[in-house]
Structure 1
Amino acid sequence: MQNYLANLPPQHRRSWLLVVIYIAVLLVVSLADFGLNTAGQTVFRGILLGMLVFLVASGLSLIFGLLDVLNFAQGAFLLIGAYVGNATYDALDALSDEMRFLAAILSAVGTVGVLGAIIEAGLIRPLYKRPIFQIVLTFGLAAIFLDLVERVYGPDPKQPIDPPALLNGKFTLFAQSLSTYRLFIIFLGLIMMVSVYILLNRTRIGIIIRAGVQDAEMVQALGINVRRVFTLVFVLGAALAALGGIAIVPYQGATLEMGNQFLILAIVVVVIGGMGSYEGTAIASIVVGLTRAVAEQLSLTHFDAPVLAETSILLLMIAVLLIQPSGLFGREEA
């Protein structure tokens, strides 16, 4: 850890210090105002939300950081994953809950992965050097997908599905009975966080991806299909959002609004963490999740103002940008 910090740029060491101080302040405020049990429950909810947001934001960060594409259809990928997974689960009612849940995950991730490959190869690829057109295109795709989901699955919210029996139990945390599935979501987010980091930094394909981003012509000259590598990155980013979508369904069901709700949170996370910084996105997801959870609890306890949760996140983003214009762990412009 000491070597890691020593190798960081000075502004990133300052960012780590700010993050530690900020989280410590949140914890102290929670303990002082809510008491131990409520504070513990609030922190748990914050980490849970942070992991869900991370699955969407990590894909957004990867696609922007490696492909330089700001994908406003990322929320739509989450939405499609949630609804396709829900429909698959309902259609396989003759199978066990375990098999239905696994099939729902595979169908959600597979469908969105294929869709992502088609979009990258057919629509995004000609626009890699045209950022305005990318934004217009992905905005348009998000609107189209939202309309298609509503037409295919209807406007009514979908009820939560039953997770497998292993994940459908209860455990007690700070005097509150909680679903084991919520703990599973946190572990899922952590597993994906570590797995993608290892993929990008410790494997051959990760080296190829990063080299292709830095110098596509050189990598192409080595006989590597750079276009296929870029498609893989886009598919990975889309699939992470779909995984987040189907992970949400057993927890709170699916609604047409969920895509835009998580897209906004993901954009805030990516901006706070630093555009294109995977590590920054991971840290900012936790920070945003904790901030929102504490703000919601403060609202319930003192203010009766639900808008406080959303406002707190925007204020946090503004504060970070005032202190660190490139985000906590973004690259500063030369």
Structure 2
Amino acid sequence: MDTLAALPVQALHGLVYGMLLFLVASGLTLIFGMMGVLNFAHGALYMLGAYFSFSVLQWTGQFWLSLLVAPLLVALAGVAIERFFLRKVHSYGHAHELLLTFGVAYIIEELVKIFWGNEPLRVVLPQWLDGSVHLLGTEYPVYRLFILAVSTIVFIIMFFVLYKTRAGIIVRAAVANKRMVGALGFNVPLVFLLLFGMGAWLAGLAGVIGGPYLITNPAMASTIIIDLFVVVVVGGLGSIQGALIASLLIGQLQSIGILILPQFAIFFEFLLMALVLIFRPHGLMGESK
């Protein structure tokens, strides 16, 4: 009976984590799913957003400023990675991309330890985000609802930009046939550079709002990176809708799995991925080639 009573709250926990996971995975969907770049450093960029946000908060005490500045700094780091490193190895295939971005992720993690230390950092939230509201028979943190709201808004904006604007049409066309788009006079390398920067920006934004929720620490990147690739594979390469559905499924599997079968909770998402790969190899919303 206690388990049944706790299900609604656990489902809400799963929804919040799923939407945060989507916020990170949406950037990887742009980079890996659309561009075909195997970016193992995406989790490190997410972690970098959390640490940049912590420093901005320490220096200014302004949460909204950290929400603006930190993702931009991460986007600049992402642009530098794509322009000066990944672009040089992209033609050699995924193995080179994997080795390069794994090295970048390792360097970022070590730099984080050098500048911020190994200990978890406590992020001080504004008073209006630090309280709780009565919801589903319990006191629920306002900040988790804030994460839910921000992630939902980002999904709506991304869907609109990618599918309803001229810029989105150019991006999707460049992904589908970059030679044709280049022949029409568009700067395809610049399009991909901006797309990579946008993916890094999303990772940084997720780091800003995820740091106070999941604790800002040097293990953030390695903790989330597996979930990210599971989301991209389950949702389908390049599908924002698929990334949303997969993120929500994984959030619920983890949250409710911990409540019902805690010792097996970690395996549920891999079981989901295995089933999707068996019955729908291109993902839930991906297009078969």
Structure 1 partner of 2:110:
147
SS of aligned partner of 1:296: helix
TM-score (norm 1): 0.82
How many angstroms apart in 1 are the aligned matches of 2:236 and 2:174?
Answer: 21
Gaps of 5+ in 1: 1-31, 94-99
After TM superposition, give the deviation of residue 318 of structure 1 in Å.
1.4
After TM superposition, give the deviation of residue 107 of structure 1 in Å.
2.3
Structure 1 partner of 2:96:
133
After TM superposition, give the deviation of residue 314 of structure 1 in Å.
1.4
SS of aligned partner of 1:128: helix
How many angstroms apart in 2 are the aligned matches of 1:273 and 1:61?
Answer: 9
Structure 1 partner of 2:221:
259
Task: Tell whether 2:37 aligns with 1:34.
Answer: no
Structure 2 partner of 1:90:
58
- Whether the 8 Å contact between 1:41 and 1:174 is mirrored in structure 2 is yes
- Whether the 8 Å contact between 1:161 and 1:249 is mirrored in structure 2 is no
Letter of the aligned partner of 2:244 in structure 1? A
1:202-281 equivalences under 5 Å are 202-281=164-243
| Identical aligned residues as a percent | 37
Task: Tell whether 2:122 aligns with 1:159.
Answer: yes
Letter of the aligned partner of 1:279 in structure 2? Q
Cα deviations by residue, 1:272-303 (Å, 9 ceiling, x for unpaired)? 11222221111100000001001111146xxx
How many angstroms apart in 2 are the aligned matches of 1:213 and 1:78?
Answer: 24
Gaps of 5+ in 2: none
Cα deviations by residue, 1:58-93 (Å, 9 ceiling, x for unpaired)? 111111222111111000001100011011101224
Structure 2 partner of 1:57:
25
Aligned-residue RMSD, C-alpha: 1.6
Pair member with larger Rg: 1
After TM superposition, give the deviation of residue 332 of structure 1 in Å.
2.1
SS of aligned partner of 2:121: coil
> How many residue pairs end up in the alignment?
288
After TM superposition, give the deviation of residue 33 of structure 1 in Å.
7.6
- Of 104-113 and 208-217, more deviation after overlay is shown by 208-217
Letter of the aligned partner of 1:232 in structure 2? L
- Whether the 8 Å contact between 2:33 and 2:232 is mirrored in structure 1 is no
- Whether the 8 Å contact between 1:63 and 1:70 is mirrored in structure 2 is yes
Bigger relative CO (Cα 8 Å, ≥ 6 apart): 2
